[in-house]
Amino acid sequence: MYIGIICPPYPSHVTALSALGEALVTRGHRVAFLLPGQCRGHVSPPLELVQTDQASPLPRDVERMLARAASGGAQLYRVVKDMAAMTEALCQRLPALIRGAGIQALLVDQMEPAGGLVARRLGIPYVSVACALPLERDPALPPPFLGWPGDGSEKGIKRNQGGHRVSDVLMRPCTRVLARYGHAWRLPIGSFEQALSPLGSVCQLPAALDFTRHQPPAHLACTGPFRTLTRNAAERPAQPHIYASLGTLQGGRYRMFHRLALACARAGVSLEITHCDRLSAREVASLQRLGAEVHGRVNQKEAIGRASVVVSHGGMNTVMDALAAGRPQLVLPIAFDQPGVGARVHQSGTGLRLSRHARPGALAQALERLMHEPAFTERAVAMGEAIRQAGGTRRACDLIEQWLEEK
C-alpha cells in the first residue's frame, strides 16, 4: 500500500511520524511525506517526499512559521493564522497531489485537519495520529494548551467547558477554513475533532500518564511513543547530574538556560545543555562560564541516561524519553500542549512543574527535591515500564494496518 503522511512542518512531528513511516516500510509499504521542500532535510530514505510547494510557493515560509511558533504566547494569533493559511493551501493542493502520486491511504497528524478533510473528499482511508496530546475531547479534561489538572467533578467539568469555549474562539481562523471547505465538499467537518478519522487514532501519550477520562473514545489507541525505547530503565549515575533540553523550536531561550545554570551552581550539581543549534557562540560561552556543559546537538537518549534528573519544556518526545529511562523531570512549559503535558507529569508524581519564568532559587529547590526524594524516581521507573507495555511503534503500526485494510 502507498501511504501518504500529512503533518505540520514541525521537526518533532516529522521525527515521530518518520518512526511510524519507517516501520511501515519494513512491513512492505511505500510511504511518503507531503510537505514543503524546506522540510527535505528532515525526510530521509526509505521515506519519500511529495512537495506541496513544487508548482508554486505556499502562503507561508516554513522558517518564519517555526520562528513565530517558537515565540510561545507572544505571537499566538499569528501562529493560528499561519495554521489556517497552511490548512487552506493544503485543501487546495492535496487532492491533485494525492491523485497524481497514486497514494492509496493517509496518516494524518491531528494538528493538520486538512488531511482528514481531503481524505474524505477523495474517499480514501486514513488514520489520525496524535504526536502531541490527543484532541479527542472529554468532560474531565481541559484543553491541551492549559496546565489545569484533570477534574471530573461538576466544578471541574464546568471549568473545562469554559476552557474549550476559549479554545474554540482562538482557533476560529482555522475552523472557518474547515467549515468553508466542508460546506463546498458537502462534508460534515467544521472543527479539528470532526476531521479525525472514523477508523481510529494512534497516540504517543500512554494511558498511564493521561488524566482519567469520563468517556474514553473507543478508537483512541494510546500506544506510547513512536520511537525505539530502552528495554529497561537506565542505571542511575553515581553523581547527581542534570540534563536540559528545550526542544528543536525553543532551544534558543538563553535566559531560561541561564537561570537553570545558576540554579545548578547553587545546588552543587553538574548541568548538560543541548540547544539544537539555536544559541549564539557568545551565549554558549556565557553558560560555560557558569559551569554548564553545552552542546548544539547530542544523542538525547544517551544524554538522559547520564542524568539523574531531566529538565525540559514539556515536549512529548523529551518527556517520553525521560520516563522511558526512569528519570524524574522538571517541566517548564512554554507553548502548544506543553502546559498540558506538564500538568500530567506533575499529577502523575513523576516530576515537578514550574513557570518558565521561575527564578534560580525556585529551580534549585525543585531540583533538590527531584534528586533526593526517592518517590519521584520510583514513579518514573514504574511509568517507564507502563510505556514499554503500551506497545509503541509496533502496536501503532499493527493498528494502522488493521484499520486501513478493514476499510
Least confident range from 50-59, 63-72, 149-158, 396-405: namely 63-72
* 350 falls within a domain: yes
For residues 19 and 321, is the Cβ–Cβ distance under 8 A? Answer: no
DSSP secondary structure letters along 147-214? -PPP--SHHHHHHHHHHHHHHHHHTHHHHHHHHHHHHHTT----STGGGS-SS-EEESS-TTTSPPPS
Q: Give the residue-averaged pLDDT of 52-77.
A: 86
Q: Are residues 287 and 345 in the same domain?
A: yes
Please indicate, yes or no, whether residues 186 and 74 belong to a single structural domain of this protein.
yes
pLDDT digits 0-9 by tens, 280-294? 999 999 999 999 999
Q: Report the candidate in 250, 282, 249, 256 with the shortest Cα–Cα distance to residue 271.
A: 256
- The answer as to whether 112 is a domain residue is yes
CA distance linking residue 86 with residue 54, whole number of Å: 15
235 located within any domain: no
Range 206-211 average pLDDT: 96
> Using an 8 Å Cβ cutoff, are 245 and 302 in contact?
no
332 and 294 within one domain: yes
Q: Degrees (nearest 5) of the Cα angle 32, 35, 38?
A: 125
Regarding whether 87 and 203 lie in a shared domain, the answer is: yes
CA 70 to chain centre: 13
pTM over 0.95, yes/no: no
Residue 234 domain-assigned (yes or no): no
The predicted structure's pLDDT at residue 406: 83
Helix residue ranges per DSSP H, 27-147:
62-70, 76-101, 114-122
Q: Is residue 231 part of a domain?
A: no
Instruction: Say whether both 219 and 314 belong to one domain.
Output: no
Helix axes 254-267, 360-372, angle to 10 degrees: 60
Q: Is residue 53 within 8 Å of residue 37, measured between CB atoms?
A: yes
Asked whether residue 397 falls in the same domain as residue 313, the answer is no
What residues make up the domain containing 384? 241-389
Nearest residue to 237 (alpha-carbon basis) of 171, 307, 174: 307
Judgement on whether residues 174 and 70 belong to the same structural domain of the protein: yes
Is 264 within the bounds of a domain? yes
- What number of other Cβ atoms are within 10 A of residue 301's Cβ? 16
pLDDT band for position 237 (cuts 50, 70, 90) = confident
Half-sphere exposure of 321 toward its Cβ, with a 13 Å CA cutoff?
A: 26
**Does some domain include residue 268?**
yes
**Total domains present in the chain:** 2
Let me know whether 92 and 74 are in one domain.
Answer: yes
CATH code where residue 71 lies: 3.40.50.2000
Query: Do both 191 and 287 map to the same domain?
Result: no
Per-residue pLDDT, averaged over 385-403, amounts to 96
In angstroms, rounded to a whole number, what is the distance separating the alpha carbons of residues 351 and 153? 24
The tens digit of pLDDT for each residue in 82-104 reads 999 999 999 999 999 999 999 99
208/290 same-domain check: no
135 to each of 32, 104, 196, how far by Cα in Å? 24, 25, 9
Same domain, 258 and 201: no
Q: Are residues 160 and 302 in the same domain?
A: no
- 229 lies in some domain: no
